[in-house]
Amino acid sequence: MKKQMTFISYVEDKDGKMIDFERFSCARANTVLNNLKKLYNGAWGSLYNYPNADHVTIYAMPDGYNKAGAIIVEPWKNFKEI
């Protein structure tokens, strides 16, 4: 079994200000991307309507509390189905 790691994702605007965040515990950062896409486009997806959102940044948190650095920065348009 792979070791679990904690990740935090921030939905940010163009200025880098956080709009929303989600916390995940999984083995890979790509799993976080897939889970976010399911979350933002699922049955509750209409709750995640952020007109000012520009991108999603995923950070690793090796100790579970402190951010180590950005791993993935993905444009917001990739998360919302049109």
Boundaries of every domain in the chain: 5-78
- In this predicted model, which residue has the larger pLDDT, 4 or 57? 57
Name the band, by pLDDT with cuts 50, 70 and 90, for residue 1: low
The pTM is what? 0.83
Whether residue 19 is predicted with pLDDT greater than 80 in this model: the reply is yes
Closest to 70 (Cα-Cα) out of 10, 1, 5, 3: 10
pLDDT of residue 70: 85
Question: Is the pLDDT reported for residue 46 higher than 80?
Answer: no
Q: Which two tokens stand for residue 35?
A: 């889970």
